[in-house]
Amino acid sequence: MKNFSIAIFFVALFGLIITGCGSSDQGLTLEGQIDGAANLSVVFEHLKVGEEPIALARTNADAEGNFLFELAEAVRPGIYRVRIGAQGGDLILTGEERAVEMRGDMNALAQNQFEVT
């Protein structure tokens, strides 16, 4: 009976470890609505000083300027850009974000005038 209790303890402990490990590697969801961005190409880029931007994801905005990126892994702390057509808006991310919403207008995007939650 004692060996059975120890076995149950280790099975439960193993299950907690597996569950805990799975939750630590959450990704990032970036959702946006930009007026005037209807049907334009949208690219999520990582910016590094002195280097070309690295495209992490691509999509197209719908007819209302809505777009969605779902990254499987969290991003590292740094500067990122959401490029819509020829315009882009920069974001500073800590790497702890799991869901980011971006709202604005194409005319103000290049001046980094948009709302982020």
Span 59-72, pLDDT tens digits: 999 999 999 999 99
Q: What is the structure's pLDDT at 25?
A: 57
Neighbours of 90 (CB within 10 A): 15
- pLDDT > 50? residue 13: no
Q: Is the pLDDT of residue 37 over 80?
A: yes
At residue 50, the pLDDT reads 94
* Average confidence (pLDDT) over 102-111: 94
DSSP string of 89-108, one letter each residue: EEEEE-S--SEEEEEEEHHH
Tell me whether residue 18 is exposed, middle or buried, using C-beta atoms within 10 angstroms of its C-beta: 0 to 12, 13 to 18, 19 or more. exposed
When comparing pLDDT for 102 and 22, which is higher? 102
